[in-house]
Structure 1
């Protein structure tokens, strides 16, 4: 029996795209992912919806409004809602948030188009919650050439994107991934968000990607766990998680459930970032249900209820695994465990 009905449980469609193609494994079709999502079930509980990457191979942002309405009808036909959207802000269609004027204009325009899709989906009624996800669209090495000015440029671009998003009633969430310059450590992420200084921007925490902030990949000066850290030392790990989440939780407006084995990974055109693992991976370092609570509850243990849904994110799994229904049942089981431990009823 489902004890709580919030936060709503979503699957993501972008794992069928990220790290696929470009000589890697084939992209998994959008309809295939919808089918697996809709057919997943654990003790009578099913996914409530999907979060969508606005990529041309699934659903591009340059399509007419009629196509957006057809998208809503298609997702609804599976008994699902739509939540957060990923704006395709990377080159060549987009551009670096710290790049030339032209690159930055393309970045903001991609955000605008994504917000248009999001607003129409809200008006249709298929999207009752969710944000538009962004990043800096540039690597840490490029950022390191001029950290102060590059962060200022990223913040300026994000401000312009926030102002555009506000016109559509949308919020932007910057995801904590170590592969994006100016966002590649917890301190640098906070610095960037503080410089943006807009009410409609926040942080998207991912239990896998953001976990790597603890280890200081790409920013050893901001490492939280000691260099000789022993994974059996749960007390130190959890103290580190507390420090990390205390700093970022006030910014957090979107949340991804995930597993991680403490390493970085990258396939296809996707740069190295926190390696997602299946929820039951024996090498997984996260107690998913317990550690999700560091993000979903405040220092006093109270639920923040800062967002209405949570989403599973598991990029760069082999297609062989992703084409098995049991994989999605196992993922849903992990999501249900989080909802049971940190959910509520409305």
Structure 2
């Protein structure tokens, strides 16, 4: 559901958010050869969800989602400044806010689980530290700080029977390259509770070393053989940690909207400038997926223009692509 919210707002250069009910209706309308979407992943912030919603309010949201024929899978904790969270790399006041957002997400997860609308999935987080400049002032100490915050968040999640997935994007400090992401996961050292969420659009830019040239695995002008050799190297390192997966496309560019910094640009699945064979690339991440507890795959249209999101073709094209991924690699 977050493509209806991320990068949206009421600023002069922002498009308005798309309501939860509208996003549900767009999802429900998609159909390919008789198959429809099974459920949604859900962003826990306004205007879709009030972080202070009562139990009854949250049960009403669960009823609405279920009435459309959907389960809820993974949840996105509102860990960023401007929501209820703050930087995982910040001072105690900031990290306490970060942890409060994780607690809030675990509370909602528990209500959804008890309701029955949610039976699987993780809670997504990131470092909530925009950009890498501050992190670069002392990479070792700052990664250690993020890891300490993540470890406390993982303890909270474990107490609620949940798992956290850290999504690697080039805009998030300490998570902005495949190597820095791996170092952070290993520093946390709680693989049973905190793992990795792989997004095809974001991880393409990991290969190119967009915000970490020292960790680039490819250079412009690469051959197909060079691409898949590099892709295998990256996925072999991060796949053992991967517990959630996003189908997406990237054209090699970055994109930002509203308050969201520039990160891997999400493109329609059939974008002619797309760099990825989605079905083939997904296979590198989904080997042994069931052993890592992955129960579903999700698509991400983060910061798609509203006109793209409101076009039924967008949804049918991604559904068709996901069906192909499932047929090739599903359990």
- Structure-1-length-normalised TM-score: 0.92
Say which SS state the counterpart of residue 203 (structure 1) adopts.
strand
Q: Displacement, 1:271? A: 0.5
Residue 255 of structure 1 corresponds to 245
Distance in 2, matches of 1:318 and 1:154, equals 32
Match of 1:219 among 208, 212, 215: 212
For residue 270 of structure 1, report the CA deviation from its aligned partner: 0.6
Stretches of structure 1 that go unaligned for 5 or more consecutive residues are 1-12
Q: Structure 1 residue runs of 4+, over 6 Å off?
A: none
Structure 2 CA distance, aligned partners of 1:51 and 1:330? 18
Cα 1:293/1:304, change in 2 over 3 Å = farther
Please list, as runs of the form range in 1=range in 2, the aligned pairs for 1:1-346 lying within 5 A after superposition: 13-21=1-9, 22-23=11-12, 24-92=14-82, 93-138=84-129, 139-198=131-190, 199-226=192-219, 229-230=220-221, 233-297=223-287, 306-344=293-331
Give the Cα–Cα distance (whole angstroms) in 2 for the partners of residues 115 and 304 of structure 1.
23
* Greater mean alpha carbon deviation, residues 321-330 or residues 276-285: 321-330
How many residue pairs get aligned? The number is: 326
Secondary structure of the corresponding residue to residue 151 of structure 1: helix
* Alpha-carbon offset, residue 306 of structure 1: 3.7
The two structures, once aligned, show a CA RMSD in angstroms of 1.3
Q: Equivalents in 2 of 1:306, 1:224: separation in Å?
A: 29
Q: How far is the alpha carbon of 1:61 from its aligned partner?
A: 2.3
Structure 2 spans left out of the alignment, 5+ residues: none
Give the Cα separation in 1 of the matches to 2:185 and 2:314. Answer: 36
Q: Give the structure, 1 or 2, with the largest relative contact order (CA under 8 Å, sep 6 or more).
A: 1
Preserved CA contact (<8 Å) 2:198 2:244: yes
Q: Deviations over 1:170-220 (max 9, x none)?
A: 100000101000000111111111111223000000000111100001111
**Structure number having the greater helix percentage:** 2
- Secondary structure of 2:113 counterpart: helix
The CA distance in 2 between the partners of 1:253 and 1:62, in whole Å, is 28
Residues 71-121 of structure 1, C-alpha deviation per residue, up to 9 Å, x if partnerless?
110000000000001000111421111101110011001100111101111
Relative distance call for 1:305 and 1:107 in structure 2 (3 A) is: closer
